[in-house]
A = this chain, B = another copy of it.
Amino acid sequence: MEVSPGHVRPGGRTARVREAVLAAAGDALAEQGFDHLDLADIARRAQVGKTTVYRRWGSITNLVADLLADMAEQSLPRTETGSLLGDLQANARLVQRTLSDQRQGRLFTAVIAAATCDPRTAEALRHFYETRIDEWAPCVQAAIERGELPADTDCREVIRAVSAPLYYRLLTVGHAPDEADADQAAEAAIAAARAGAYVKSWQQS
């Protein structure tokens, strides 16, 4: 992305431009969708010359990848309820609310679409989700220590199991999940985890 020949200038204007362009890219992605993305349009929204966007990011693809990297930074802290069901429900509802939100939902589908078209973006998306999972996995670990789940349960897999049906709904069923879907996802993940479906090192047939 940023080339640094000799001297870089991250101060003042540069940072302001980056912020404005990323915000504009997010808006454009949410409103227009991944295709229909237009360099000139993004520049107009950011009140920035389109040459600037072209020079700094080179392509729409790189811009989306950078946007994802930026999104990964802003990791919202998880809520601690003390019970596994409460924690996973909180997680499920957070995902559900995000995907149901007009802007955020469209943004996420657009970003996923972008990731399927470019390896760098795919890597950025992967990193984004790994970051989110890092944030929530500890609540599963705590449940293991309380004896609520098998000792060798794969914490990260449980968190993925909560998100999976919600994203599946959004992408293949076509519309965002509702609150009941979120609760169902949390319940199902716990039931499967209790039954040992997510224990590590599963070499069986």
Contact = CB atoms under 8 A, between A and B. Distances in A.
B34 A116 contact: yes
A34 B117 contact: yes
A141 interface: no
Among A36, A112, A116, A165, find the residue whose CB has the most chain B CB atoms closer than 10 A: A116
A48 interface: no
Given A161-B165, A180-B202, A129 B188 contact: no
A195 B191 contact: yes
A158 to B, nearest CB: 10
A136 interface: no
Interface of A: 33-36, 109-110, 112-113, 115-117, 122-123, 125-126, 129, 157, 160-161, 163-165, 167-169, 171-174, 180, 183-184, 187-189, 191-192, 194-198, 202-205
25 contacts: A33-B117, A36-B117, A110-B116, A112-B112, A113-B117, A115-B171, A115-B172, A126-B172, A160-B165, A161-B188, A164-B164, A164-B165, A164-B167, A167-B167, A168-B168, A183-B204, A184-B198, A187-B195, A187-B197, A188-B192, A188-B197, A191-B192, A191-B195, A191-B196, A195-B195
